[in-house]
A = this chain, B = another copy of it.
Amino acid sequence: MSLPYAILTALLEKPSSGLELTRRFDKSIGYFWSATHQQIYRELGRLEEAGQIRALPSPVPVRGQRKEYEVLPAGREFLREWVGAAEDPKPLRSALLLRMRAAAVVGSAGLRAELERHLALHRAQLDEYLVIEERDFPAERRGSEPDRLRHLVLRGGIDLERFWVEWLTAALEELGPEG
């Protein structure tokens, strides 16, 4: 649903082949909209079909050969329209909150270890974000408008991870040593 827009954004930031995109979806843009290489290849096909991107001319267009894509004006316009479009937030789906609720009914046996594991994962992700922030958005320099927007996005990621770290910490405290 948002995948085509994610791909257009990524390609505008830098024209890429399918695999390059896949790698960039493992970090950077993928922090906020993840995708597998399969989804990406399929969507590249659709976007090309729709005339929103094109493969840079290459000698032999055969299977197994890398194709670099760039965004066409129609694709840029398509993305521009989406930025201002109305689209309701998707309802929350959190397996972890759900599990806690299940634990209230059938008991919290074994939950503690799992919460600790998630806590470690979220702490790691938070650290990763903080490194990126320090590298790309140093405190002193007040960047351009695009820079400030990108920083805002990263800030969102950071505060979301902080939320999870805090919630998990509180949950572990509440569970006590046995849970």
Contact = CB atoms under 8 A, between A and B. Distances in A.
B149 A95 contact: no
Chain A at the B interface: mostly helix, strand, loop or mixed? helix
Contact of A93 (B34, B150, B152): B34
Q: Could you say how many copies of this chain the assembly holds?
A: 2
Contact of A5 (B98, B104, B171): B98
A178 to B, nearest CB: 11
Contacts of A170: 152, 155
A2 interface: yes
* Residue from the set A34, A94, A105 with the largest chain B CB neighbour count within 10 Å: A105
28 contacts: A2-B93, A2-B95, A9-B105, A13-B105, A29-B98, A32-B92, A32-B93, A32-B94, A33-B95, A33-B97, A34-B92, A79-B106, A83-B102, A83-B106, A86-B117, A87-B95, A89-B118, A90-B95, A101-B149, A104-B147, A104-B150, A105-B146, A108-B149, A152-B167, A155-B167, A159-B166, A160-B163, A163-B163
